[in-house]
Structure 1
């Protein structure tokens, strides 16, 4: 569904899966600064919107997903994950309950699969699920992870979800001027998202991603709630093991003209003989080879070229990397020792062995 904001003078379409919205409006760095200072609005109307109504909606979603939703107060934004039976991430939702229904937005092209699963799980409960994407568009009025930019008086009919607004789609073309904000492209949002260490489904995830790897524990996963599909994996990793991979923030070599694309291989950087020993410590990398992949990359108005990547947990945190052939240094997001939070008596551990 092509956004009318692409008709704004200077608008340049983004790349898939964001090709129906603007990547920028002619000045990407100024747009980043404006978004960071709460003076811009980002059109994210390619995201899909799901509405879940009915008296049992909160308890039902609580039983199906990773977040504790049954006690969610109206107006409180939340994130939750839907996992498969092995604990791998299938869907990431940003949501709010308005007292009558739960409103959630998800990645482009994912709502049909989500709704199909939810419909199978309705049984005799009082819930109704609807795709309301044709009627509502997502716009963001705060930097990723922030809520201070939300308008005090959102447009009529809008739903507030933290720093996001679900606005009636017929009002999308004029919403920036209605709020007194300049339009900023998705490039600006993505650069600030990477800076904020926030993973995105389909970028920092693949078919085997589990929540611990991306730091979704705490933000999208509640560790003390009851059972849900995939919960056994979450509990086992949190209490007894470590995730096999970890999310890292990368500072990229600013002298290179290109950014590593999504999916580009991450490999070990060129080491001097004195620094070669850490390479042998990398699990599964006895010889040079891929130890991760690039999720997202961007040019930040202050930090320069940056990226998020997923690498093997045992990659040393102080070793230089190559991201799609571009030299990179790491900043830890998910620590190598994530998980294994249960202290076991050494005597008991010996008996277990």
Structure 2
């Protein structure tokens, strides 16, 4: 969004404005609802038509058939083996379902939806003329974002990130009394780009934050993202995405058998962990850097941030057999000590209190005639 690039201090990164000069200050203001983030690293897809919700329900991991106008959720598209292919935030306005996808996934997701349409009364369109503005609810930033948000049916299109709570039909693997995501009231407004640019003209560097600030809050909340935590092997269980993106009680969809099997039997092949990094060196790891337990490579860093309170932090996908103690991240020839906090336990799913499905092959035993009155 060109208007934001004109604000004093704006520094462009690979996927959008990285920061406006003071990353830690931006994080603090963003976390209190005082700053807006232009999210040029994400894209809007509109799905319209009378059959859109039932159709999306049948081909994705989320229960969408009865999604009400104004409600928000998120979905995953899985392959037949239950691996994550696409992900998107979802909000419906009664006439269209709006998907918010990472920019690197949006075109592929839209193309896949078009291929799956067949005779369904629905249309799929990437909407590049719409921008996205992120904010934390509860402050002046919310008022500003909502004032310029697109409202095709009268109500502003503002996606409410469900990560604060376990969604209906979901399940949390993280065994913590207080989940860090509960404190992040993250919202994304869908905004016409010309309106976003006009808003930017009224703002100063005190009113905005960059993508680095938004990422720091996400990593601290243990929130998985397609562009970071997903690779060709990813199962939703491994990053605790069952929490908000998968409905365990809905009808059949592609990949459901694997979702149910791993959840019922437990032991996903890998698990997400939070790493608190030694900050004595100025070196910060990068996504893709290896994680070691002693001399054994046990995983890979997926997301990294410098947090204004927690210092250098990261998310990492580890082997299920990785020990739960301290680890080492190797970055640029430097070994960085990392204190591990388990997010997804190695036995995730096996201890869940869930009903076991009776095998269809087990038939009721005929009554013993000797015991018949």
Quickly name the TM-score band, shorter chain normalised: 0.7 to 0.9
Specify which of 318, 330, 339 is matched with residue 340 of structure 2.
Answer: 330
Task: Go from structure 1 to structure 2 and tell me whether the alpha carbon gap of 1:268 and 1:147 turns closer, same or farther (over 3 Å shift).
Answer: farther
- Inter-partner Cα distance in structure 1 for 2:124 and 2:344: 35
Task: Go from structure 1 to structure 2 and tell me whether the alpha carbon gap of 1:343 and 1:132 turns closer, same or farther (over 3 Å shift).
Answer: closer
Structure 1 position 202, deviation (Å): 2.5
- Inter-partner Cα distance in structure 2 for 1:198 and 1:72: 23
User: Is 1:41–1:176's contact at 8 Å kept on the other side of the alignment?
Assistant: no
- Inter-partner Cα distance in structure 2 for 1:5 and 1:85: 42
User: Is 1:268–1:322's contact at 8 Å kept on the other side of the alignment?
Assistant: no
User: Is 1:150–1:164's contact at 8 Å kept on the other side of the alignment?
Assistant: no
User: Is 1:95–1:103's contact at 8 Å kept on the other side of the alignment?
Assistant: yes
Q: Does 1:72 align with 2:67?
A: yes
Partner of 1:349: none
Specify which of 221, 228, 232 is matched with residue 196 of structure 1.
Answer: 221
TM-score norm. by structure 1 comes to 0.85
Partner of 1:11: 10
Partner of 1:151: 143
Q: CA offsets per residue over residues 125-178 of structure 1, 9 Å max, x none?
A: 110111112x100110117xx999633853253521111101001122233566
Partner of 1:171: 195
Specify which of 15, 27, 37 is matched with residue 42 of structure 1.
Answer: 37
User: After TM superposition, what 4+ stretches of structure 1 lie above 3 angstroms from structure 2?
Assistant: 146-150, 176-181, 341-344
- Inter-partner Cα distance in structure 2 for 1:78 and 1:149: 22
Q: CA offsets per residue over residues 63-101 of structure 1, 9 Å max, x none?
A: 010011111111111111001111111111011000000
- Inter-partner Cα distance in structure 1 for 2:238 and 2:212: 25
Unaligned runs of 5+ in 1: 270-287, 345-353
Partner of 1:23: 18
Structure 1 position 6, deviation (Å): 1.9
User: Is 2:87–2:101's contact at 8 Å kept on the other side of the alignment?
Assistant: yes
User: Is 2:104–2:227's contact at 8 Å kept on the other side of the alignment?
Assistant: no
Q: Does 1:85 align with 2:109?
A: no
- Number of residue-to-residue matches in the alignment: 318
Q: CA offsets per residue over residues 252-286 of structure 1, 9 Å max, x none?
A: 001010110010001114xxxxxxxxxxxxxxxxx
Q: Does 1:310 align with 2:302?
A: no
Q: Does 1:255 align with 2:254?
A: no
Partner of 2:114: 119
- Inter-partner Cα distance in structure 1 for 2:312 and 2:284: 7
Structure 1 position 289, deviation (Å): 2.9
Task: Go from structure 1 to structure 2 and tell me whether the alpha carbon gap of 1:34 and 1:50 turns closer, same or farther (over 3 Å shift).
Answer: same
Structure 1 position 9, deviation (Å): 1.5
Task: Go from structure 1 to structure 2 and tell me whether the alpha carbon gap of 1:197 and 1:156 turns closer, same or farther (over 3 Å shift).
Answer: closer
Structure 1 position 241, deviation (Å): 3.1
- Inter-partner Cα distance in structure 2 for 1:149 and 1:4: 17
Partner of 1:106: 101
Partner of 1:301: 308
Structure 1 position 31, deviation (Å): 0.2
Partner of 1:281: none
User: Is 1:51–1:103's contact at 8 Å kept on the other side of the alignment?
Assistant: yes
User: Is 2:275–2:341's contact at 8 Å kept on the other side of the alignment?
Assistant: yes
- Inter-partner Cα distance in structure 1 for 2:342 and 2:253: 30
Q: Does 1:245 align with 2:294?
A: no
Q: The residue matched to 1:203 in structure 2 has which SS?
A: helix
- Inter-partner Cα distance in structure 2 for 1:156 and 1:114: 24
- Inter-partner Cα distance in structure 1 for 2:280 and 2:326: 20
Q: Does 1:182 align with 2:182?
A: no
Q: Does 1:142 align with 2:136?
A: yes
User: Is 1:238–1:339's contact at 8 Å kept on the other side of the alignment?
Assistant: yes
User: Is 2:58–2:253's contact at 8 Å kept on the other side of the alignment?
Assistant: yes
- Inter-partner Cα distance in structure 1 for 2:312 and 2:257: 38
